[in-house]
Amino acid sequence: MEVLPPLNWDKVGTDTWMDVYRHWREVGGLKTTLNALKLPKKERDEAWKKFFHEIRQPVWWGGDSEPHPAAPHEPVSKLEAKLTAGEFVVTAEIAPPLGAQPEEVVKKVVMLRDHVDAANFTDNPSATPRMSSLVCSAIALQNGLEPVMQIAARERTRMGAQSTILGAAALGIRNVLCLTGDHPRTGPSPHGRMDIWDIDSIQMIWMFRRMRDEAHFLDQRDIKAAPPLFIGAAGSPFASTERFQALREAKKVNAGAQFFQTNLVYDVKGFERYLEALDKVGALNRVFVLAGVTPIRSAKAANIMNEVPGVKVPKPLIERMEKAADPKEEGVQITLEIVDKLIARCATTPCRSASGASPVFFATRWAKIATASPITKKTGTRHCI
């Protein structure tokens, strides 16, 4: 569960035993070693762990496996304020345009701003270049819709990520969703370099939290005005076994994630097992969980979605789509049923719920569950773009 530092590229390809030797000399060398050997086994083991932890975790990183919740503060965004108050929260996802026309972003923002609490702007999904999520988020703010700026670690260095987040904060963007990003291999050819994995999403969460709470850069220089951020991460209920995934999500929460937005949920029972796994590792009562839903357009689309990593469409739903006279309408009805089941789950197991209708509040042992609800306009509720 320890948050390890990104690579120190000055040392890549070198022998780490020199680091061990130098640190051994710094802490007292042979004299300290001999004294440690005289200690009781438990204390000796602790001294051994401490010695290698100091090598593994340089001062500029300071990683550990402990929780790092935000200090008591006033919410920095409307999204954080509503989640903290236990209100229903609805977000939508907007894919940035494949061109330089801001009018396309404005059109979608205007369509959604009276129906959702915030909108996500994806960051080059499927490793395909689009208008930047930073620019789209700024356009959304200018047009009355609070953004959730997605930021992928995939092609960013640690320097670029720190610079981007300061620029976002300067523009008034407060909600940020940290992702590792789709592998460049999933994008169109010709492919560029595929080795620019300087940091991953957990390391980015850790770095942004320290910039916000400790007001310094990774290189330990002070930040004159720390960025006020509401830090999010992706939740992946079906990416692997619930137990393993819960451990990974707990690591994100410990690093500083304050909310999750999950992959699409079609298997409600599987999602419930995921929540139970989060509860067992002590993460569920420390994070807001927004469950992702969207209508299936056809049985063919459902089968294709089943091939997307982290998405699981149960066979009975696919069969139902195959038998439907109007697959699109059936997909809408399935989505509404999933939303109702999520709300009912919260009603039977104490939690706070948030999901695209009138506000409901439940006393809390479970985390606050919001449905990031891109339901079609045809239902009269929410529209997915």
Residue 69 scores a pLDDT above 60: yes
| pTM score above 0.95 | no
Residue 346: pLDDT band (50, 70, 90) is low
Kindly state the tokens that stand for 373.
Answer: 């609800």
Residue 118 scores a pLDDT above 60: yes
The mean of the pLDDT values for the chain is 87
Which domains does the chain show, CATH number per domain?
Answer: 1-66 (no CATH), 79-379 (3.20.20.220)
pLDDT tens by residue, 21-35: 999 999 999 999 999
Residue 364 scores a pLDDT above 80: no
Residue 151: pLDDT band (50, 70, 90) is very high
Alpha helices in the chain (DSSP H): 17-26, 29-37, 41-56, 78-84, 102-112, 133-142, 158-170, 201-214, 242-255, 268-280, 299-305, 315-323, 327-348
**Percent above pLDDT 90 for the chain:** 72
Write down the pLDDT at residue 35.
Answer: 92
Residue 188: pLDDT band (50, 70, 90) is confident
Amino acid at 264: L
Q: In Å, how far are 40, 41, 111, 153, 285 from 44, measured between CA atoms?
A: 6, 5, 64, 39, 36
Report the sign of the C-alpha dihedral through residues 188, 190, 191, 192, in that order: negative
Residue 377 scores a pLDDT above 50: no
Write down the pLDDT at residue 245.
Answer: 94
Residue 343: pLDDT band (50, 70, 90) is confident
pLDDT tens by residue, 193-228: 777 789 999 999 999 999 999 999 999 999 999 999
Residue 351 scores a pLDDT above 60: no
pLDDT tens by residue, 258-275: 999 999 999 999 999 999
Query: Which of 50-64, 65-79, 363-377 shows the lowest per-residue confidence on average (mean pLDDT)?
Result: 363-377
d(CA 286, CA 364): 11
Highest mean pLDDT among 85-94, 129-138, 355-364: 129-138
Residue 306 scores a pLDDT above 60: yes
Residue 347: pLDDT band (50, 70, 90) is low
| Residue 190, preceding peptide bond in cis (omega within 30° of 0) | yes
**How many other CB atoms are found less than 10 A from the CB of residue 80?**
24
Kindly state the tokens that stand for 216.
Answer: 């310094």
Write down the pLDDT at residue 20.
Answer: 93
Write down the pLDDT at residue 380.
Answer: 31
